[in-house]
Chains A and B, each alone.
Chain A
C-alpha cells in the first residue's frame, strides 16, 4: 500500500512542478481548409500573415492572429511542396512538382515571376532573410540546390554533390550559409557567395533520409529531422553535433525554431506536435491531433503555432493566456 501511495505522491509532485515550470497549454482551432493535404506553412517576419501550400496546387495567405483567409494564389501546375516569405515580407517563393519556383507579390496577392531551371520536382525553397531579400535557394528531385537572384529573375548558381533527392533547404539568418538535406542522409552547408560551388562542410549523423533543416534566428544552431523520427541539433558554424532527440514515432517533415533560439517545434505523421528545449533535449509540450501533420511554424512570441495537416486543414494552436496582438 505504501508503495502505491509513494507512486501517487510522485505523480502529484511531478504534475505540481511540471505545470508551473512549463506552463504550456494550447487551444486547437481549425481556421480553414485547402482542397487537399497541407504540405507547407510559413509565418512572415512581422507575424502578421501565414502562408500555406497544398497538394491542391494552391497557396493560401491567412491573417494572424485571426486566421482569416486573405487570398488564394493559383498558377502552379502541380502540388506546391514548400514556400517561404522573403525577409522583408514583400514576397513569397513557392516550389512545386511542376519543376518551377514561383515568386508572388504578397501585398497584391499576384504572381511576379516563374523561375525555370530545375529538371525535376522542386521540393524545398527558402528566401534569403535579409532586408533586400535578393536570393532564393531551392532543392529538387534533380539532386541539386539552386540559387536564384530575384532581381535578375535568373538562376545564378547550381550546387551539386548530394547523391540523392535534395529534400529541403534553409538560409542562415546572417546570410552567410545555406544548408540542404537529402535522401543521401547528409546535410551540406554551402557558402552564399556566388563563386564557391563546393560545400563548406558535410554533416553526417542521420541514419535515415534527412527531411528538413533549419537555422536558429541567431544562426548559431541548425536543427534537422529525419524519416525515422529523429531530430539533431548542430552548432554553427563548426557543424558539431550537440544533441540527438528521438522525437516521434513517424517521419518528421517539418521543424521550426521559436524566437528564443532554444525552443523548437516538430510536426510528424504520428499526429503529434511536440515542443522541445534544445539545450536540454526535454519535451516541453505535446499535442496530439486526429490527423497527420506535415508542416508547422510558430509566431515569434510563441503564442500561436500553425499546423498544416493531412486532412486538408490549417490549424492554429493558441497559447492559453497568450499575448493577443
Chain B
C-alpha cells in the first residue's frame, strides 16, 4: 500500500512539474514595421532568435494593416533578438527584453526599417552633438549604438557620413564645424568595429534642406541642431 502511495506521489510530482512547464507564462510582442523615410507601413520578415541564437519564430508584418506583426510564445525575463530580413532593406537586429511577469501580457514595439539602395539614408535620429559643437556629447552612445548594430549587420554597405550645421550664419564656420562632426562620428564607428574602408565623410555649409530650422512659434521642436545621415554609396 505504502509503495502505491509513494508511486502515486512520484507520478504526481513528475506530472505537476511537466504541467507547470507547459503552463509557463508567455508574452507576446506586437507592433508595426514602418519604413523610416516615407513613414509608410511595410511588409518585412521578422525572425525571432533566443539568447542561444536559435531561431524560434518567424512572422511577416502586414503592410495592408499598418505594418502590423504579432509574435507570441516568448518567455518573461528573456531577451530575444528580432532580425528584420527583407530584400531592399537593411538587415537589422533589435534586442527585445521581455519583462518579468507572471501573467500573459502583450508588449508593444515598433520597428523602423531602412531602404537599402544607393543614396538611401539612415538618419541619426537624435543629434549626438550640442549646439555649435563637434564633440560627441556624453550619452550619445545610446543613439549611435543602434546605427553601429545596423552597419555591422550589413557588412557590404559602404557609406558617407554627412553632417549639417545648426544655422546659416557663416558658411565657412559651418563647413569647419560639420567636417569635424562627420569625423567625430566616423571615429566612433571605427572605434565600435566598423571598417574605416567603408566610411567617407562630408560636412555641409548650409542647413539641411530636408529638415530646415523651424519657423513656427511652437516651443516643441524649437531647439534646432543640424542633422546627420548615413548615406549608402554601395552595397
Contact = CB atoms under 8 A, between A and B. Distances in A.
A44 B126 CA distance: 30
B217 to A, nearest CB: 6
A79 B223 contact: yes
A117 B108 contact: yes
25 contacts: A36-B223, A57-B223, A77-B128, A77-B139, A78-B126, A78-B223, A79-B223, A97-B223, A98-B126, A114-B142, A117-B108, A141-B221, A149-B99, A151-B99, A152-B105, A153-B99, A154-B97, A154-B107, A157-B108, A167-B220, A194-B105, A194-B106, A251-B218, A253-B218, A294-B219
Interface in B98-112: 99-101, 105-110, 112
A153 B128 CA distance: 24
A11 interface: no
Contacts of A98: 126, 143
A130 interface: no
Interface string A117-139: 10111010000000000000000
A120 B110 CA distance: 12
Interface in A55-106: 55, 57, 75, 77-79, 81, 97-99
A253 B223 contact: no
A29 interface: no
Given A79-B222, A152-B101, A154-B99, A269 B107 contact: no
Contacts of B34: 119
A160 interface: yes
A30 interface: no
B233 interface: no
Nearest to B107: A154
A157 B140 CA distance: 27
A155 interface: yes
Nearest to A253: B219
Contacts of B79: none
A146 B126 contact: no
Contact of A251 (B140, B217, B221): B217
B129 to A, nearest CB: 10
B109 A155 contact: yes
Nearest to B129: A77
A79 B109 CA distance: 24
7 closest residue pairs by CB, A with B = A152-B99, A79-B223, A155-B108, A98-B126, A158-B108, A154-B107, A39-B219
Given A77-B143, A157-B108, A121 B137 contact: no
A156 interface: yes
Give chain B's interface secondary structure class: loop
Contacts of A153: 99
A156 B29 CA distance: 9
Interface bin, chain A: 35 or more
Nearest to B223: A79
A211 to B, nearest CB: 8
A294 B99 CA distance: 37
A226 interface: no
Point out which of B36, B125, B217, B223 has the most chain A C-beta atoms below 10 A from its C-beta.
B223
Given A78-B127, A152-B99, A154-B99, A123 B220 contact: yes
Contacts of A152: 99-101, 105, 107
Contacts of A297: none
B62 interface: no
Given A155-B107, A158-B31, A97 B126 contact: yes
Contact of A77 (B31, B100, B112, B142): B142
Interface string A11-47: 0000000000000000000000000110100000000
Given A75-B139, A77-B140, A119 B219 contact: no
Given A55-B223, A97-B221, A121-B221, A158 B110 contact: yes
Point out which of B66, B108, B217 has the most chain A C-beta atoms below 10 A from its C-beta.
B108
Nearest to A209: B218
B143 A156 contact: no
Nearest to B112: A119
B181 interface: no
B162 interface: no
Given A79-B222, A119-B34, A156 B105 contact: yes
B32 interface: yes
A158 B32 CA distance: 9
Point out which of A36, A141, A158, A269 has the most chain B C-beta atoms below 10 A from its C-beta.
A158
A55 B221 contact: no
B109 A117 contact: yes
Contacts of A167: 220
Given A75-B139, A251-B217, A55 B222 contact: yes
A185 to B, nearest CB: 15
A149 B125 CA distance: 24
